Structure 1
Amino acid sequence: MQRRHLLATLASGAALAATPFARAQGWPEQPIKWIVPYPAGGGTDVIARALAEAMRGPLGQPLLIDNRPGAATNIGADLVAKSKPDGYTIMSADNAVLAFNEYLFSKLPFSPDKDFSYIGAIGKFPLALVVHPDFPAKDFKEFFAYVKANPGKVNYASPGNGSPHHLAMEMFKNRTSTFLTHIPYRGAAPAMQDVMGGQVPCMFLDLASGLQIMQSGKVRVLAIGSGARSKLLPSVPTLAEVGVRDSEVFAFQGLLGPAGLPAATVQRLNTELNRSFSTPAVIKRFADIGMDAMPGTPEQFHQLARAESRRWGPVIKAAGIKLD
């Protein structure tokens, strides 16, 4: 009798222990919706599609890109935050969702810290300070001296208010006690065109959008906001090298789901995301745009996002930037 009771207890315990494994094995049983909070064809969209293709084989289901642009990424982020936590809705998230918008908007319909399951970081690419080739400064030292001597008279372009490019220059101004005048555009392409054309003399430009024109000489690259020199632009000094403190400025992306995703689902997605970074197609795509892959755990991604939020909050508040 005691033996039968022991066997029954062991069997019951084994069944309970197997439940998460069984759930992990059963998921996914249908296509996964991958929200991209930007229009089709942009950098975030291109990266998501490359990763989705690399992950579909191991997961055994297609990952379908669903572009939901608008409200500085808040439309897509809110949709995901309110989705059922069953592993069938995930999203690409960047600086806007995770670090900027909680300061740029008076009220968000979601909490970047509490309303998402952090799956894993995707990658980051630095922003570089560029000027038109005819600008009267051949290097960073001359640029700094010029803007210092001409407060408010030097304009700078950005893809729009609250963009990483805009905030990178605000951080630069904050750290160097300089004053440049912001000229916001509707996207990176028109901003770059006017800097190349000389209508606006300078901007912070991300490598994903501007690497080709940087390498072609259509703009002059004065400094790069990375922790170390870029292999793609080895002759360009970092902002730290030229004396700008706490000056690493980069755009980063990661993968989120709604809060409450099962731990086994988060782990499976994290595993396949990290594995995708070693596939030839993803390696090539990242190399083409100067993105550095950031394999790691969900916890590391969450820590990065919150650290960036704490770093950028004071910059945004000091500049008095609001998007509503």
Structure 2
Amino acid sequence: MKTRQLIAGIIQMLFLAIALAFAPFAIAQAWPDRVIRIINPYAPGGPSDTIVRMLADGMSAELGQRVIVENKPGAGTVIGANLVARAAPDGYTLLLATVAPLIVQPAISNSLSYDARKDFAMVGMFATVPNLISVHPSVPVQSVSELIAYAAKNPGKLNYASAGAGTGPHMGGELFDQMANVKLTHVPYAGAAPAVLAVLSGQVEVSFVNITPQIQHVRAGKLRAIAIGSSRRSSLFPDVPTMAEAGLPGYLSESWNGIVAPAGTPKPVIDRLYRAMAKVMATPKVQEALLPLGADATVLGPDEFSAYVKADEKRLVPVIRTLGLSTY
């Protein structure tokens, strides 16, 4: 009897081992079997919303199931981020991840409803949009060095517009102040579009906003672009230097867009999502559509994306602490 029980136990363990070995394969084969949601924690209409909808359309074809974008704005991206952090880790609810929910909000809040490091699994980065530093034509500067000199000689005279307190462009403006040892007064707006309008009207002198809503106005001569915040020049404005080329080496200010899933999402699902994302962003159709937005298809896998976010966190959190952004 004992021998039979022992043999039965061994057989049962073998079956369990085989089942566990083939579980990832089974999960990958069965998934997805229903609609996948990408939660956008911002309002509709911005560059990130436009790009993630392109991504969703392409991924629908790649995955054989509808991938839809749902806008859940509010509380500085916390509402959307918390929804995903609390979702089932099955790959059907994803987050459009940017600097705000993954870096800024964790740095400014002591009572955040999610843990950015523990509650999400990285899927990958899919696009970056550089921030463009521009001035109203009435401002007597043609370059970054002239802007720094003018700000130093006229303390308190220059204001800069951003897409809101705690956003990537705001961080770019404050990083500029620290690195250039000047002080421009921050004027936050409820989005990039109203920020650009404020500079166009002359209410604010300088714009630290992503490139997309500024393109037509720079081309029309209504704004003067003096530097790009990314590590390389934009093909839309090849004559506009990077901030590093213009005299602030190490400066980087760009809006990045990635996808994260709830922590615990099976690795085969993460891998399949990433492969679909990478394939879509590599298509000529999507890359051509990104050009007029000033965006780049910047694709990073889960580990690379995680390293990128950690590096950005290391660079930006000291700026946030200095500003005391927890008061916002």
Same fold at TM > 0.5: yes
Say which is worse superposed, 6-15 or 99-108, in terms of deviation. Answer: 6-15
Give the aligned length.
321
Decide whether the 8 Å contact of 1:91 with 1:255 is kept in 2: yes
Specify the alignment match of 2:3 in structure 1: none
Measured against aligned partners, the alpha-carbon deviations of 1:95-143 in whole angstroms (never above 9, x if no partner) come to 1012211122233111111110100111112112100112111222222
Which SS does the other structure have where 2:321 is aligned? helix
CA distance in 1, matches of 2:323, 2:298: 30
Measured against aligned partners, the alpha-carbon deviations of 1:24-50 in whole angstroms (never above 9, x if no partner) come to 100011111111111122222211111
1:107 aligns with 2:111: yes
1:206 aligns with 2:203: no
1:221 aligns with 2:231: no
Which SS does the other structure have where 1:293 is aligned? coil
1:135 aligns with 2:157: no
Identity %: 39
Specify the alignment match of 2:4 in structure 1: none
Which SS does the other structure have where 2:128 is aligned? strand
Q: 1:1-324 residue pairs with structure 2 within 5 A?
A: 14-322=18-326, 324=328
* Structure 1 gap segments, 5+ residues each: none
CA distance in 2, matches of 1:323, 1:69: 20
CA distance in 1, matches of 2:19, 2:188: 59
Decide whether the 8 Å contact of 1:228 with 1:238 is kept in 2: yes
Letter in 2 for 1:103: A
Q: Which runs of 4+ in 1 moved over 6 A?
A: 4-12
CA distance in 2, matches of 1:113, 1:163: 19
CA distance in 1, matches of 2:57, 2:327: 35
Which SS does the other structure have where 1:322 is aligned? helix
Shift of 1:59: 0.8
Decide whether the 8 Å contact of 1:175 with 1:245 is kept in 2: no
Letter in 1 for 2:263: A
CA distance in 1, matches of 2:17, 2:186: 64
Decide whether the 8 Å contact of 2:96 with 2:257 is kept in 1: yes
Letter in 1 for 2:180: T
Shift of 1:13: 5.1
CA distance in 1, matches of 2:165, 2:37: 29
* Residues 7 and 107 of structure 1: CA distance in aligned 2, closer, same or farther (over 3 Å): closer
Letter in 1 for 2:139: F
Say which is worse superposed, 212-221 or 12-21, in terms of deviation. Answer: 12-21
Measured against aligned partners, the alpha-carbon deviations of 1:144-195 in whole angstroms (never above 9, x if no partner) come to 1110101112111112111212111100001111011111222211211121
CA distance in 2, matches of 1:82, 1:323: 26
Decide whether the 8 Å contact of 2:229 with 2:252 is kept in 1: yes
* Structure 2 gap segments, 5+ residues each: 1-6
Shift of 1:211: 2.0
Decide whether the 8 Å contact of 1:105 with 1:323 is kept in 2: no
CA distance in 2, matches of 1:200, 1:104: 26
Letter in 2 for 1:163: T
Under a length normalisation based on structure 1, what TM-score does the superposition of the two structures give? Answer: 0.93
CA distance in 1, matches of 2:107, 2:20: 44
Letter in 2 for 1:315: V
Say which is worse superposed, 210-219 or 191-200, in terms of deviation. Answer: 210-219
Say which is worse superposed, 7-16 or 286-295, in terms of deviation. Answer: 7-16
CA distance in 2, matches of 1:12, 1:321: 52
Letter in 1 for 2:49: D
CA distance in 2, matches of 1:57, 1:256: 20
